[in-house]
Structure 1
């Protein structure tokens, strides 16, 4: 897939989630004492505590839009548990240096997101002018290693985006093995993600047919394969056959990028979402915002505005098998005893035909005040807020985002604020399942 910013053309990649299986022999080094993510003997992506983790998220073009860091909070508020962040080695675009990589990783943690970091300059190597090799991408990661040390529980390193076009794709296998081994020799213990050739879509089956040997070449046995699904994957049969091949071979696979449309064909996004959910595989849609050059339809949020989701944005976040309905936050963010930094009580205080009155209490469980906040949730039955006191609501489909009134803008340490509202309902009036405060998941109070 090819992606254009206002400044330069680049290639799109589809991101998916891990979840395929490994052979017992492949899993011998995936020990329970792992310091970060690892692949289990059943082929699942596991957190360091052994809990299963299935990615549900989107791609964000950080390297071209470095000031749009608030997008991470917006992506989290809509329910994502993972974000794939576009970075540059400095060969084709401005280099994201060690300080910036560290800042991005910290912002992911602050917003309780798992961070998949990818080097985009490899896009279409062998075919795209200026694209660099996987070896060069590995050198970049080694150069910013200090920003990633100790982040194995929060960060997955996607070595290079779509590292071959269609020309010379046979070189993918040996180059991928060498890049993995270079990073391991440099001391990287992170889960590594490797993209397919053929602009990520692997229509030649180069990755599919060589994945086992690539996995075996990783001394840590901790590599995940990522296919990008655009026009090549325009039928349910193609999508299911590809994903099930990896599952049957007991090899981990994710859909690292995909869209609802593309210049090379019309992807079957409904099947991509349904198949990954059925198989327990992860997915990362392309992309949050900032697309140009004719593929603006791939934006999920118009102009980086979380309150202006596009049809594609509404589909991936709120549609069947979408992020809001299937995402589970990484348990690494639960903290000691699973205590969230906030708690929300939602209560219906009165109800009549077609209408109701409700109350929200937002508690700050931290040791410092919260000055200024955004509360977000998704109504499960199409409810709508018609009036609110204590805050200002904004609705985008079923998602509600609330900002405070002046007199509720500060939540004291270990204190709370209350909001009241009037709303409408039709058919059912079930409470929201989850809330986030400034992007952090809140527990029920």
Structure 2
């Protein structure tokens, strides 16, 4: 994420560079074991088109928030999360075990995981930033957490790898980084961020993208533009994204917001243009922003029930996540819906009930997954306790209890479960005797499987 103002006026820069892209090199073979690029599109391991609709989460600064954050991000309808990692340069290193845990949690929540090394942010201008070569060193050090996860993980080599100084080195440094990762055996889709704090006002990435893609023996590179103040008009947004689309070069808007210190990005144009072109986007960021950009929090204080205006726009607005996201088919769905042969009516579901029992009291974390091919609005979940349990309080939902029977209804912010998505709630209760998880659940009067 960019935190300083661009050095040159946007209009001048747009007029100064108008170079056309060279022809796109041959696409990667369609039998790739994981995500891959073909004809300028990002395809998943089943060769299905995948359009990212997601959120950035600052894991390296808030590791204790990640487990719940990913659940909540999925419950809001996202299909992707871009996870901030520290390499040990500017920020504490997230080691192999930690990265493996993040990947596991992404998969558990059926989110495609974009892992990004953040310490390169603003290299050449930000004093503590590290070069792309150090980011490559980091990826090789956590390689054991990555290999075998090509179906679920994209590797974003380095966040905003140059500021506004010496950014012309971006092209050669990016090619070198890609070459080193391939030589070391990483077969993932590699995502590369633009220079100029990610905003590419110099068009360095735009005008060299075809050469960078051609340098990859796998032809498996996704380009990442960050749209803040440089992209404050529909014309600027459309021109940049359409040049990639016209040239069959794959691109994603890896970060954007509804306002910023360097200008007011046109988030409506970003989202509508991305939707019309079938280009992915990921909003910055779930929660935890500081240094004067707290307005970029999608939810306040990591509380999924407290959407900011920016969060309401991204999740619920026109061309937003809830309306446009489709889950990757690698999770068993063919087009963002259900598995072939799965029940397709409202009520097809899986329930996870995680019990923390302390004898006379307990907590339960409950997740409902919608495995139908349509959104579930105003859902109702019913189950029966196996013993003398009593619900004392509940969050993210409402509960009524009659004897052992419990009836759960949503709060306004958990009212809809998108196809392939989840909603989570928790409850606190008291018990006497044996306390076990309920044996069965029904959603809208239809039986759920348990996990």
Show CA shifts across 1:378-433 (max 9, x none). x9899799986412532129657574776999453xx433568xxxxxxxxxxxxx
Bigger drift between 54-63 and 393-402 goes to 393-402
Report if aligned partners of 2:84, 2:117 keep a CA contact under 8 Å in 1: yes
The structure-2 alpha-carbon separation of the partners of 1:24 and 1:260, relative to structure 1 and needing over 3 Å to count, comes to closer
- Tell me, in whole angstroms, the C-alpha distance in 1 between the residues paired with 2:304 and 2:127: 34
Q: Distance in 2 between matches of 1:80 and 1:376?
A: 13
SS of equivalent to 1:374 = strand
After superposition, where does 1:106-185 map in structure 2 within 5 Å? 106-185=104-183
CA distance in 1, matches of 2:270, 2:212: 25
TM-score by length of 1: 0.79
Cα pair 1:22 1:252 within 8 Å, conserved: no
Shift, 1:49, TM fit: 1.3
For 1:349-360, list aligned pairs within 5 A.
none
Greater RCO, 1 or 2 (C-alpha within 8 Å, sep 6+): 1
- Partner Cα distance (1:289, 1:387) in 2: 25
CA contact (8 A) 2:229 2:261 kept: yes
* Structure 1 runs not aligned, ≥5 long: 5-20, 347-360, 421-435, 441-445
TM-score, normalised to structure 2, is: 0.78
Aligned to 2:102: 104
The 5 Å alignment of 1:382-401 reads 389=400, 390-396=407-413, 399=416
Match of 1:232 among 230, 233, 236: 230
Residues 121/372 of structure 1: CA separation in 2 closer, same or farther (3 Å cut): closer
Cα distance in 1 for partners of 2:51, 2:365 equals 32
Count, aligned residues: 387
Structure-1 separation of matches of 2:111 and 2:443: 27
Distance between the aligned counterparts of 1:52 and 1:192, measured in 2? 17
- From 276, 295, 298, the equivalent of 1:297 is 295
The question of whether the paired residues in 1 share the 8 Å contact of 2:350 and 2:368 is answered with no
Q: Is the 8 A contact 1:380 1:398 kept in 2?
A: no
Cα distance change on mapping 1:418 and 1:188 into 2, 3 Å: closer
Change (3 A) 1:215 1:245: same
Cα distance change on mapping 1:62 and 1:403 into 2, 3 Å: closer
Per the alignment, in what secondary structure is the counterpart of residue 206 of structure 2? helix
2:307 to 309, 313, 316: 309
CA distance in 2, matches of 1:169, 1:120: 17
Tell me how far apart the structure 1 counterparts of residues 426 and 247 of structure 2 sit (CA, whole Å): 52
Farther off after superposition, 119-128 or 399-408: 399-408
Shift of 1:335: 7.0
Match of 2:44 among 20, 44, 47: 47
Mapped partners of 1:32, 1:22: distance in 2? 23
Structure 2 unaligned spans of 5+: 5-20, 356-363, 381-396, 401-406, 418-422
Query: 1:210-225 counterparts in 2 under 5 A?
Result: 210-225=208-223
Q: CA RMSD in A?
A: 3.4
Which residue of 252, 255, 259 corresponds with 1:254?
Answer: 252
Tell me by how many angstroms 1:48 deviates.
1.4
Q: CA deviation at 1:375?
A: 3.7
Structure 1 distance, partners of 2:224, 2:53, is 14
Q: 1:418 to 1:124 in 2, by over 3 A?
A: closer
1:64 counterpart residue number: 61
Aligned 8 A contact 1:56 1:284 in 2 = yes
Post-superposition shift, 1:373?
A: 1.0
1:219, distance to aligned residue in structure 2 (A):
0.9
Question: Residue 411 of structure 2: SS of its match in structure 1?
Answer: strand
State whether residues 3 and 292 of structure 1, in contact with CA within 8 Å, keep that contact through their aligned partners in structure 2: no
Separation in structure 2 between the aligned mates of residue 57 and residue 36 of structure 1, nearest angstrom: 19
When residues 189 and 234 of structure 1 are mapped into structure 2, their CA distance, relative to the original with a 3 A threshold, is: same
Aligned to 1:373: 366
Q: Does the CA-based 8 Å contact 2:37-2:220 persist in structure 1? A: yes
Aligned positions of 1:314-325 closer than 5 A: 314-325=312-323
1:278 aligns with 276
Change (3 A) 1:335 1:410: farther
